[in-house]
Amino acid sequence: MRFRGRVWKLGDDVNTDLIISGRYKYDITDMKELSKHAFEDVRPELPSLVKPGDIIVAGRNFGCGSSREHAPRVIKALGVSVVVAESFARIFYRNAVNIGLPVVECRNITGFVEEGDIVSVDLEKGVIENETRGGLLRVRPMPRFILDILREGGIVNYVKRRGGLEVG
């Protein structure tokens, strides 16, 4: 799986309330509608600027906090192709994989790209390339099991197609 897009950059500890506030998640059940409020308390202009295929780059501990699956879902609904962060909170990471939003952990990413850069990300090879500034970063390639879930578009399709959850 390979993605190429324009970068939007966020800081450290972007928690699930900042990704999508709890005050909306019960009243708006349509993800496209809900995604209009994504990042409202940190970068309210983002939903109107993000174009399909764009890439979010963030600092440490992205997605910390609640287990709300709305967080990766609204990011996916915005059309973001992949989130690359220095580190992820574990529940967010699982949720993203399970709903089919690619997430890549890359320790040095925030120093490697600026907002607006064009970046490509290859999940199988574990390579991130900054096409605007030049340069290449290597990350650990994704485990096969996670790539398989992402290829199916999420764990629901994955278990439906395989009739269950068999790991390793």
Partner 1 sequence: MFDPSRVVLVIDHTGPSPSRSISNIHRKMREYARRWGCHFKDVGYGICHQILFEEFVEPWTVVVGADSHTCTHGALGAFATGMGSTDVAVAMAYGRTWLRVPESVRIELSGGLTWPVMSKDVILQVIGELGASGATYMALEFTGDGVENMTVSSRLTMTNMAIEAGGKTGLCPLDDRALSLLEELRGKRYKPLTPDPDAEYADELHVDLSEVEPMVAAPHEVDNVKPIEEVEGVEVDQVFIGSCTNGRVEDLEAAARILKGRRVADGVRMIVQPASRRVLREAVRRGLVETFLRAGAVVNPPGCGPCVGRHLGVLADGEVCISTQNRNFRGRMGNPNAEIYLASPATAAASALTGCITDPRGFVE
Adjacent-strand bridge partners of 58:
85
> Is residue 19 within 8 Å of 63, Cβ to Cβ?
yes
Smallest separation (angstroms) from partner 1 to the CB of 3: 22
Q: At what angle do helices 155-162 and 144-151 cross, to 10 degrees?
A: 100
Q: Which is nearer to partner 1, 91 or 147 (CB)?
A: 91
Residues 6+ apart with CB under 8 A from 90: none
Smallest separation (angstroms) from partner 1 to the CB of 167: 5
Give the C-alpha separation, 124 to 1, whole Å: 6
Q: Which is nearer to partner 1, 13 or 129 (CB)?
A: 13
Q: Which is nearer to partner 1, 16 or 130 (CB)?
A: 16
Interacting residues with partner 1 (CB under 8 A): 13, 15, 17-18, 21-23, 26-29, 40-41, 60-61, 64-69, 72, 87, 89-91, 94-95, 98-99, 145, 154-156, 159, 164-165, 167
